[in-house]
Structure 1
């Protein structure tokens, strides 16, 4: 069986805000590219990154319905450690889907705090939803 997770994925994450008046642009948590490498049967490895940041991914994958991935991204960005944890699911193929692109959907948590781009602190424990589509 081919590993359906291998390859590059366009990644976006959004804060979980139930207020429908919040503009979509104000929900952005992160974006970048996930690059998943071929590895042993249940292993997930690769990278995730964007402008000015990159994290090494290590984790696992499970076949089933739905197929599942769980991984941690670790790296040094701007001189400090970043750690994020991810859990995601491969969206099932729709028999009547038109030009369906493989997609992962899931959740991400900032595991440890780090400096934010506005000079403050991005706290640990913030949870966001993510989706990634295969490039």
Structure 2
């Protein structure tokens, strides 16, 4: 992936991978926040991802291809405990024949919770839960 193509500020949203089409859309929410990707060397990347009440530092790499790819791990301490998530995503370019002025470059991919942590409601968010994500270029 061209470093310039993946770097920058992105609006991030993720949804649980539940095939039950009768579920209310709001019950699929996994995460929401801001993704900031910066360069680190020739193919490396660093950055942050976070939202209300959580923030993770990112480290990973970008790769050229068709489509181009990013892969990174987010680590941080939230409410005194470690959070670790792994991400893989692909750059989706804008359509050349689009007439929408709101179309943005996107990264789509998958995220997995690598370590368990408490969920804020007295329970545990277990490791191994997978969600799909998309990130829209914010600027």
TM range (shorter): over 0.9
Q: Matched residues in 1 for 2:64 and 2:94: separation? A: 14
Shift of 1:2: 5.5
Q: How does 1:101-120 map to 2 (within 5 A)?
A: 101-120=104-123
Q: Which residue of 1 aligns with 2:94?
A: 93
Q: Which residue of 2 aligns with 1:16?
A: 17
Structure 1 portions without partners, runs of 5+ = none
Match of 1:38, SS? strand
Q: How does 1:1-135 map to 2 (within 5 A)?
A: 3-98=4-99, 99=101, 100-135=103-138
Structure 2 portions without partners, runs of 5+ = none
TM-score under structure 1 length normalisation: 0.96
Q: Matched residues in 2 for 1:55 and 1:119: separation? A: 22
Match of 2:27, SS? helix
Judge conservation of contact 2:3–2:62 (CA < 8 Å) in 1.
Answer: no
Partner deviation per Cα, 1:93-121 (whole Å, 9 max, x = no partner): 32202332010000000000000021100
Q: Matched residues in 2 for 1:14 and 1:117: separation? A: 19
Equivalenced residue count is 135
